[in-house]
A = this chain, B = another copy of it.
Amino acid sequence: MNTKLPVPERLLAVAGDLFAREGYDAVSVRQITSRAKANLGAVTYHFGSKEALFHAVIDRMGTPFADRFVAIAAERGTPLDRITRIVTMVLTERNLPAPAMILRELATDRPLPPPLMQLMQRNLAAVAGLVREGQADGSIRAGDPSLLALSVMAQPFLMRIASRIPRDIAGVDRTDMETQRRLVKHVVTTIIRSLAS
């Protein structure tokens, strides 16, 4: 870990990586501080607690993620175009820990961290807005925009983590460039078919 950066920054980066990959419970404060080349007490000192650091991490990785949603939603193009762009972004962007993080927390009975809730709220609102736009101009079929937004996001989120499923089971392999292009095309086609009126 780059020792030039300030300690809280290093902690956020390392913790973000570890939490996203292993989950909150599987990562210890000692792992974080040692990889960040910080003292054991640094988490308590700079963030107050491990949980507070976790929330800060969600915030830090979630804000630019949601910003991308909002930015794409504000671009030019038909609503279906912009939805396609968001879906493609979620599928192809490198180092995008948010989807796995969101799915893991959703799948767990623990109370959702407030920053995670806010993050999902922003993402879904952006997509739901596009759905409403499309419904208004007749390009998207009728239906609850919130539900449709959830349906839209379900596939790219799941496909992203499903790249862990061996190819012989699911036919997904994110490492191969050509396979990835086919995957994006597949997901986009599937989503547009489910949305178009």
The answer on a CB contact under 8 Å between B107 and A161 is yes
A144 CB–B CB distance under 8 Å: yes
Which of the four size classes fits the interface of chain A? 35 or more
Say how many copies of this protein the assembly contains.
Answer: 2
Nearest-neighbour CB distance to chain B for A159, whole angstroms, equals: 7
Interface residues of A in 178-196 (CB under 8 A from B): 182-183, 186-187, 189-191, 193-194
A65 to chain B, nearest CB (A): 15
Determine if A154 is an interface residue (Cβ-Cβ < 8 Å).
Answer: yes
* A144:B186 contact, CB within 8 angstroms: yes
How far apart are A43's CB and chain B's nearest CB, in angstroms? 18
Taking the closest CB of chain B, its distance from the CB of A197, in whole angstroms, is: 10
User: Taking the complex as formed, is A176 at the interface, i.e. its CB lies under 8 A from any CB of chain B?
Assistant: no
Q: Give chain A's interface secondary structure class.
A: helix
Q: Please state if A162 and B106 are interface contacts (CB–CB under 8 Å).
A: yes
Within 8 A of B (CB), among A102-132: 103-104, 106-110, 112, 117, 120-121, 124
Contacts of A96 in B (CB 8 A): none
Decide if A146 touches B161 in the complex (CB within 8 Å): no
B121 touching A150, Cβ below 8 Å:
no
**Residue among B21, B108, B146, B171 making CB contact with A144, cutoff 8 Å:** B171
Q: Bound complex: CA of A186 vs CA of B110, how far in Å? A: 27
Does A40 count as interface, using CB distance less than 8 angstroms? no
A26 within 8 Å of B (CB atoms): yes
Question: Interface of A with B (CB < 8 Å)?
Answer: 21-23, 25-26, 100-101, 103-104, 106-110, 112, 117, 120-121, 124, 141, 143-144, 146-151, 153-155, 157-159, 161-162, 164-166, 169-172, 182-183, 186-187, 189-191, 193-194
Given A112-B164, A158-B158, list of 16 further CB < 8 A pairs?
Answer: A22-B110, A23-B25, A25-B25, A26-B110, A101-B107, A103-B104, A103-B106, A103-B161, A106-B162, A141-B193, A143-B186, A144-B186, A147-B172, A150-B158, A150-B170, A154-B154
